[in-house]
Amino acid sequence: MDTPSQSPPVAGRPRSQATRRAILAAAERLVLARGYEAVTVAEIAAEAGAGKQTIYRWWPGKAHLVLDALEEVGATQVGTPDMTPPLSPAVFFRRVCVAAARAAPALRSVMAAAQSDSVLRKLLFDRLIAHRREALDSVLRAAGIAEARRRETLILALYGALWYRLLLDEPLDDAFADQMVELAQAQDRTRTS
């Protein structure tokens, strides 16, 4: 994750983690409430009680900032690929659904904006989607699905269905999560048959 804390040090005052958290929280709140396109860096700065120049010193632009906010929320609510002990596929995917449902307005608006902005589209994939795929791959591998092609097929099926429902504002509820877990288990049963 390309967060300000991992960026090269910048001359000047040390970075405040409290300010960083406030900026990320403000970005998440505003984008959830109003959508990616409708929110400006100046509004995020004002909401966070920080200067606009602080944001631009720490992030190259709004896309990086918003994706950092969504990525941090996802890592907190869902987990990361290096979780110990690893979650079961059912628990992990339920967490993904809950987090995606909560962030649905932001995710939909970022995905919509990414369709006409190739830089944002690449950032969205690299910073958010790829991390979720890696995490699910780790969970599936830990669950005993050793063959990479089968894991990739499951990842595409599960996340494809999730994004389809997300973009159409269909529920990402327990019934959906259960159907997707059943799909993964059926795929795993065909492997062992």
Per-residue pLDDT reduced to its tens digit, 18-47: 999 999 999 999 998 998 889 999 999 999
pLDDT of residue 190: 60
Q: How many domains does the chain have?
A: 2
**Domain-embedded: residue 70:** no
Q: 19 and 85 share a domain?
A: no
Q: What is the CATH number of the domain that holds 157?
A: 1.10.357
**Domain-embedded: residue 72:** no
Report helix, strand or coil for 15.
coil
**Domain-embedded: residue 187:** yes
> Average pLDDT in the 8-18 region?
65
Q: How far apart are CA 3 and CA 67, in angstroms?
A: 10
Considering the chain, what is the average pLDDT of its residues? 85
pLDDT of residue 192: 58
Q: 90 and 156 share a domain?
A: yes
Of 3-17, 20-34, 77-91, 99-113, highest mean pLDDT: 20-34
Is there a cis peptide before residue 85, judged by omega within 30 degrees of 0? Answer: yes
**Domain-embedded: residue 66:** no
Concatenated DSSP letters of 92-156: HHHHHHHHHHHTHHHHHHHHHHHTT-HHHHHHHIIIIIHHHHHHHHHHHHHTT---HHHHHHHHH
Q: Is the pLDDT of residue 63 over 60?
A: yes
pLDDT of residue 4: 44
Q: Which residue type does 80 have?
A: T
Considering 27, 61, 95, which residue would you say is the last residue of a domain?
61
Cα pseudo-dihedral 38, 169, 119, 43, rounded to 10? 20
Residue 139 belongs to what domain range? 78-192
